[in-house]
């Protein structure tokens, strides 16, 4: 899809989320689940207005900020080199929050959905999409693995994002596996596995970028 198609895709999802929320409002109880623990049990209730407005608001902000961020970025000149990737990431995030909104509404209406399965699977799919497009990202201040070492050197940025892409895809598979295992493992073990995946996604690219920086030497940056 081109830039215009992605914008309309995001706008349509925002309108759909808003419409579904308005239609669901009269049928929801005053108090609805708005947060769940790893076992899939609701651990916080909120008003139906809170639940119905947060999702569309997030989608609206992402749709609005997407074009703005690429204009104000000091490295705006790089965006033309990965426009399709940038738009794919933004549309994927919008689609993720759209599905979360529909899931929250369905649960509020009494549909017996397993949040502890759906959320890890959804997050895993999002990570896999990000991982697949990550190697095509170019230096910028808003998207990707933005570290002092990757922003200082194009080669370090490229190598870190190639590794990061593989790590994100593997982490996505891990998230999906955790979601599928939730009926068979304890909440403690599930949370430990979840945190292990998240820490791996964060720490491995950071350590790798730092190692490349040290190996290259400060005087040889490009």
Q: Rounded distance, CA 117 to CA 178, Å?
A: 8
**Structural contact between residues 26 and 48, judged by C-beta atoms closer than 8 angstroms:** no
| Co-location of 84 and 151 in the same domain | no
Domain membership of residue 201 as a residue range: 115-222
pLDDT of residue 215: 86
Among candidate residues 80, 98, 113, the one where a domain is terminated? 113
**Structural contact between residues 209 and 164, judged by C-beta atoms closer than 8 angstroms:** no
Neighbours of 124 (CB within 10 A): 22
Nearest to 118 by CA among 13, 36, 45: 36
CA angle 95/176/164 to nearest 5° reads: 75
* Percent of the chain predicted with pLDDT > 70: 97
Residue 220 pLDDT level (bands cut at 50, 70, 90): low
pLDDT of residue 108: 92
| Co-location of 104 and 124 in the same domain | no
Which pair of tokens denotes residue 131? 């991982």
| Co-location of 90 and 198 in the same domain | no
Assign 3-class secondary structure to 151-197: HHCHHHHHHHHHHHHHHHHHHHHHHHHHHHHCCCCCHHHHHHHHHHH
Q: Which residue has the tokens 């349509």?
A: 12
Total number of domains constituting the chain: 2
| Co-location of 1 and 99 in the same domain | yes
Q: What are the tens digits of pLDDT across the range 128-175?
A: 999 999 999 999 999 999 999 999 999 999 999 999 999 999 999 999
| Co-location of 119 and 93 in the same domain | no
Q: What are the tens digits of pLDDT across the range 176-186?
A: 999 888 888 88
Among candidate residues 70, 92, 113, the one where a domain is terminated? 113
């Amino acid at each position: 899809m081109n830039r215009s198609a992605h914008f309309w895709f995001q706008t349509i999802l925002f309108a759909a989320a808003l419409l579904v929320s308005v239609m669901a409002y009269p049928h929801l109880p005053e108090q609805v689940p708005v947060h769940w623990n790893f076992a899939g049990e609701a651990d916080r209730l909120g008003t139906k207005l809170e639940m119905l407005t947060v999702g569309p608001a997030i989608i609206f902000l992402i749709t609005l900020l997407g074009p703005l961020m690429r204009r104000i970025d000091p490295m705006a000149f790089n965006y033309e080199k990965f426009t399709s990737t940038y738009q794919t990431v933004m549309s994927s995030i919008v689609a993720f929050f759209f599905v979360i909104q529909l899931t929250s509404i369905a649960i509020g209406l009494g549909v017996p959905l397993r949040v502890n399965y759906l959320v890890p699977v959804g997050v895993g799919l999002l990570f896999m999409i990000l991982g697949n497009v990550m190697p095509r990202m170019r230096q910028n201040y808003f998207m990707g693995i933005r570290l002092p070492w990757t922003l200082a050197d194009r080669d370090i940025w490229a190598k870190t994002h190639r590794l990061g892409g593989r790590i994100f895809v593997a982490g996505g598979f891990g998230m999906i596996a955790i979601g599928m295992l939730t009926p068979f493992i304890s909440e403690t073990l599930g949370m430990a596995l979840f945190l292990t995946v998240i820490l791996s996604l964060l720490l491995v690219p950071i350590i790798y970028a730092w190692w490349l920086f040290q190996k290259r030497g400060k005087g040889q940056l490009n």
